[in-house]
Amino acid sequence: MNAFGLSPLLRQSLHGQDITHYRTELLQKAAQAPTAQTLLDLALVMQLTFEPEQAEAFLTEALKVQQVFNLAHAGRDALRLLVVKTPGDLTANTPIECILENAPVHMDVVYVGPGLAWPQTLPPHDLVFVAVGEGDTHTPVLAQLAQVLAHSPVPVLNKPQYIPQLSRSAAFDLLHTVPGLHMAQTYRVERATLERLSTGHNTLESLGLNLAYPFIVRPLGLHGGIGLSRIDQPQDLAAYLADIGAELFFVANFVNYASDDQLYRKYRVVMVEGKAYLAHMGISTHWMVHYPYREMKEFAARRGEEAHAMLHFDQEFGQRHAMALNGIYDAVKLDYFGFDCAETRDGKLLVFELSNALIIHACDDQAVFPYKIPQMHKIFSAFYAMLRNTVVVQTAP
């Protein structure tokens, strides 16, 4: 794996280490010989040091030089994987470098998107994995990939035609009839509509939307709780809009999923070939649960509960929601994806969002989360087995 790869840098960052010295080293290297790989490494470092504009600029310059990069070398007989990405930040594509860290895979990535057509020549590969995440700006490239990869001579995992249905608004239509599952319908609402609502010129009823206070609102295209807020009354909406300059928002009813102890438990589940795995479980006094965060680090009992949930996932959470989990996989039709979820007070699986680009990694501090590394390696092993099985099935007589 490249010395400046995603996993090593993310691990250092999550452990509180200063990675800005890589930025200095790479800038000096780029000044002497601005290779595409150096520019790509710079873009990654600057994403992790919260310099998005500079990261985008260096990525753009790198892709002017070349579209295809090697992510991992492996032995001569190793599986050869071609990963398809599109330019963007760390949420734009499946973080496959973390999932296949140290796996015996020879991995190349090809970038496609505006101004980046599908190359005529590609490195040899045994299968293709589409890592492009769902997003409004990704719709054209996913449509292009659906046409190009329809004629692929090798297997294609995570077929691009199914990825747009992961959007917050489309996911409700996809999943709301799945038995044992609850999902709040999400609406796309323009800023002008919310402004009228905040001043009392409109009511929720007059909008024709199935909404009631409290509801949650967030700008389109943002993840990780950025810009997400709960609106309990029109005055809250006015204050929110004063701080957020977006023009288009997702709006959905707030579902109170607090347990009897008034703590909120949010699960991140990934599905590999239809089998569900727990990636993390966050427990918080606040309804907006981030992970990892102070509360999980501070309270050993909560980490103990997460460890128990991971160890007994198949027999407990997975068994309770087996029907809903199977229904999600059947509806989504992707080989690999994930979702954030919880449990409603009446025992249903409450799904917040679907994504094929959730950050899944084994970079947490082992001293604090010793149980997480084996769990993540279990997921990674299943992912690698999926790749191997796909190639074996394809080449079997």
Helix (H, G, I), strand (E, B) or coil at 219: strand
Is the link from the previous residue into 292 a cis peptide, with omega within 30 of 0?
A: yes
pLDDT digits (tens, 9 = 90+) for 255-298: 999 999 999 999 999 999 999 999 999 999 999 997 767 889 99
The DSSP code sequence of 27-51 is: HHHHHH---HHHHHHHHHHHHHTT-
User: What gap in Å lies between CA 160 and CA 144, rounded to an integer?
Assistant: 9
The dihedral sign for the CA sequence 137, 56, 40, 354: negative
User: What gap in Å lies between CA 330 and CA 168, rounded to an integer?
Assistant: 18
pLDDT at position 204 is 82
* The amino acid at 145: L
User: What gap in Å lies between CA 359 and CA 95, rounded to an integer?
Assistant: 6
Strands annotated E in 153-295: 156-157, 181-182, 186-190, 215-219, 229-231, 248-253, 264-272, 275-284
Q: Which domains, ranges and CATH numbers included, belong to the chain?
A: 6-162 (no CATH), 168-179+258-393 (3.30.470), 185-253 (3.30.1490.20)
pTM confidence score: 0.92
pLDDT digits (tens, 9 = 90+) for 300-329: 999 999 999 999 999 999 999 999 999 999
**Residue numbers in the chain where pLDDT is lower than 50:** 1-3
pLDDT at position 155 is 97
Maximal C-alpha separation, the chain: 68
User: What gap in Å lies between CA 50 and CA 204, rounded to an integer?
Assistant: 37
